[in-house]
């Protein structure tokens, strides 16, 4: 079997805010044979994640751990697809699989632990497997429960709280009995946090002249846990408001991705010392061994209606570049993903 596969590539290294012009749609034939030992998948949903920008840079701390994205080549991403042809006994035509592949329409793969079969009849939308039941959910669960080690009653601050990970962390924190405040960049997002997602409070950071004072207002008793997604001034303001033995889970720093020469967070080390603050970076991949365990818990919470899943879906492979660029303008609400034809 042969299909024409269209995929997205970067034309060159991307060092600052990405634009659609940084990308191109390329095309190549994909051959599958019954003797190949491979599975051919038609992709249905692909994940759009801000961290991918770091991998598009010429130099980045990401290259040693998750590898660079090479101009002209396929861009690895989490996706869900349907098996079109299989030369492996473990997979049959019509199976739905989820795992780490690429921003492309068709993918050939060999059986691997990172490609999971998905029960398409379970009633869970298939798109969830690129987000809440994919790496976003794993990052949120592992980052919050393992890195932050929350106690009931603790005060939790989440930045980029309406994003794919932040929107889950805030809800997990409520389930853990914590008090949760999130920040986001539009009033509509703030309304979502306080309404549908059940945050105790939320604010629009763009409307605050002084983030330190704002956090002091929202956390009169201080912050015990900060789930960090943005970096920059927000980290400084959070540290200034943290309690003794506060914990910071550093999941991302989107404000620092797009401007490598720009202003970085300069957290007060005196706060770190005297409050005995612990900051820890992590990647969703760190929790791969717990992936199925976390997924089962999250899936139950979804079934029981205890967490809400927010998705922001664009359509068609061509929309991947604009969907990706929009992430850095804060235009997505919830998990950003692209539905392929």
| Binding of residue 264 to a second copy (CB under 8 A) | yes
Please, which residue, 97 or 165, has the CB nearer to a second copy?
165
For 295, phi then psi, to 5°, come to -60, -40
180 binds a second copy (CB under 8 A): no
Helix (H, G, I), strand (E, B) or coil at 171: helix
Q: Does 256 bind a second copy (CB under 8 A)?
A: yes
Q: Is 136 in the site for a second copy (CB under 8 A)?
A: no
Q: Are 320 and 23 in contact (CB under 8 A)?
A: yes
265 binds a second copy (CB under 8 A): yes
C-beta closer to a second copy: residue 236 or 318 = 236
The tokens describing 136, both together, are 């976003």
Q: Which of 31, 149, 196, 276 binds a second copy (CB under 8 A)?
A: 276
Separation of alpha carbons 286 and 299, rounded Å? 20
State which of residues 133, 202, 251, 320 lies at the interface with a second copy (CB under 8 A).
251
Q: Does 273 bind a second copy (CB under 8 A)?
A: yes
Taking a C-beta distance cutoff of 8 angstroms, is the pair 14, 325 a contact?
no
- Contacts with a second copy by CB under 8 A: the residue count is 39
Cβ proximity of 88 and 37 under 8 Å = yes
Q: Which stretch binds a second copy (CB under 8 A): 26-34, 183-191, 244-252, 304-312?
A: 244-252
Which tokens belong to 175? 């389930």
Query: How would you classify residue 72: left for phi > 0, otherwise alpha for psi between -120 and 50, otherwise beta?
Result: left
327 belongs to the binding site for a second copy (CB under 8 A): no
Does 250 bind a second copy (CB under 8 A)? Our answer is yes
Place of tokens 């996706």: 79
Binders in 284-303 for a second copy, by CB under 8 A? 286
Residue (244 or 300) nearer to a second copy, CB: 244
**CA end-to-end distance (rounded Å), the chain:** 20
The DSSP line for 19-81 is -GGGEEEEEEEEE--TTS--EEEEEEEEE--TTHHHHTSSS-THHHHT-PPPTTS--EEEEEE
Q: Which of 30, 76, 100, 272 touches a second copy (CB under 8 A)?
A: 272
Q: Of the candidates 1, 28, 61, 114, which one interacts with a second copy according to CB under 8 A? A: 61
283 makes contact with a second copy (CB under 8 A): yes
Tokens of 112: 């691997």
| Binding of residue 60 to a second copy (CB under 8 A) | yes
**Which of 95, 200, 271, 331 touches a second copy by CB under 8 A?**
271
Q: How far apart are CA 237 and CA 258, in angstroms?
A: 20
Residue 268 makes contact with a second copy by CB under 8 A? yes
43 vs 102: CA distance, rounded Å: 9
Shortest distance (Å) from residue 66 CB to a second copy: 7
Q: Which residues bind a second copy (CB under 8 A)?
A: 54, 60-62, 64-66, 228, 231, 235, 244, 250-253, 256-257, 263-283, 286
């Amino acid at each position: 079997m042969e299909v024409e596969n269209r995929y997205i590539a970067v034309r060159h290294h991307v060092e600052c805010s990405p634009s659609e012009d940084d990308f191109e749609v390329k095309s190549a034939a994909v051959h599958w044979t019954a003797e190949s030992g491979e599975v051919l998948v038609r992709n249905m949903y692909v994940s759009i994640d801000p961290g991918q920008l770091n991998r598009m840079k010429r130099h980045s701390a990401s290259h040693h751990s998750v590898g660079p994205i090479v101009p002209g080549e396929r861009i690895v991403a989490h996706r869900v697809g349907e098996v079109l042809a299989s030369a492996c006994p473990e997979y049959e035509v019509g199976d739905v699989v989820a795992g780490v592949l690429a921003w492309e329409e068709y993918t050939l793969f060999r059986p691997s632990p990172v490609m999971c079969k998905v029960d398409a009849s379970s009633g869970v939308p298939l798109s969830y497997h690129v987000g809440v039941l994919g790496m976003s959910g794993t990052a949120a669960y592992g980052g919050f429960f393992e890195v932050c080690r929350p106690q009931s009653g603790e005060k939790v601050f989440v930045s980029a709280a309406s994003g794919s990970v932040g929107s889950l962390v805030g809800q997990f924190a409520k389930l853990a009995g914590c008090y949760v405040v999130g920040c986001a960049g539009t009033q509509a997002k703030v309304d979502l946090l306080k309404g549908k997602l059940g945050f105790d409070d939320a604010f629009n950071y763009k409307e605050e002249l002084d983030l330190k004072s704002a956090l002091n207002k929202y956390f009169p008793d201080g912050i015990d846990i900060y789930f960090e997604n943005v970096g920059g001034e927000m980290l400084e303001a959070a540290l200034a408001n943290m309690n003794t033995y506060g914990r910071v889970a550093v999941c991302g720093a989107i404000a620092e991705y797009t401007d490598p020469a720009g202003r970085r967070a300069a957290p007060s080390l005196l706060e770190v010392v005297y409050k005995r603050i612990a900051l820890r970076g992590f990647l969703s991949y760190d929790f791969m061994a717990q992936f199925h365990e976390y997924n089962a818990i999250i899936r139950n919470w979804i079934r029981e209606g205890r967490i809400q899943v927010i998705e922001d879906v664009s359509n068609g492979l061509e929309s991947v570049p604009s969907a990706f660029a929009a992430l850095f303008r804060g235009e997505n609400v919830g998990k950003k993903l692209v539905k392929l034809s």
